[in-house]
Amino acid sequence: MKLLEDYLLKLNIDYNNETINKFEKYYNLLIEYNNKFNLTNITEKNEVIIKHFADSLYGYKFFKETNYVADVGAGAGFPSIPLAIVLPNVNFTLIDSLNKRVNFLNTVKEELNINNITAIHSRVEDFCNKNRNTFDIATARAVASLPTLLEYLVPLLKVNGKAVCYKSTNVDNEINLSENAFKKLYCEIEEKFDYSIEDNFRSIVIVKSFKECNKCFPRGGNKPKIKPL
């Protein structure tokens, strides 16, 4: 996995042979389980390294000093599993509404011996009812537009916690559409980090919670998607 090592060096992430072996096992499990049910349309090894592993790791600097992270709509484990591999002292809770994906995540946890992840089968609205204001960071990648995403993430945050949102570079329009969400959820943009990965232009938007939001959020009935704030 020379390509992955190049990215780890570029991002100033410490690693050893065990780190690389875990990523190798993760890739093999991803392909094996992808044949049983669809986890990703990207399966060629270098493409997985670039578009899944490295892209997840570009957020490393935002997670390395934190304690408790919620990954909403975790899917096949991006960004949290790559981050959990290189940040063994950070605790990641991966939430997904499909049990087959949660089973996959638990298999990855067991096979890679990653003790700092917990996979939860739940809709985020239900999970939030019991875990409101609990996490230092809530994150998501390729889940929803920013106004919808913030309604799922921000209620999980402690005051001064941060939503770390992995987005493509058309995010400026999404930010403009999020003004009402910022107001209703008591949060604000702290930083927008733009980067390019093999000519794929990406952004990570950091949104800070400055006050506990109303307990009516997130709304049920799929309203955050059907009628965003």
76-120 residue pLDDT tens: 999 999 999 999 999 999 999 999 999 999 999 999 999 999 999
- Cα–Cα dist 217/138, whole Å: 15
> What pLDDT score was predicted for residue 174?
94
Given a cut of 90, whether residue 218 has pLDDT beyond it is: yes
Given a cut of 90, whether residue 30 has pLDDT beyond it is: yes
In which band, very low, low, confident or very high, does the pLDDT at 146 lie, cut at 50, 70 and 90?
Answer: very high
In which band, very low, low, confident or very high, does the pLDDT at 199 lie, cut at 50, 70 and 90?
Answer: confident
Task: Give me the mean pLDDT over the 35-52 stretch.
Answer: 92
- Cα–Cα dist 51/45, whole Å: 10
> What pLDDT score was predicted for residue 35?
87
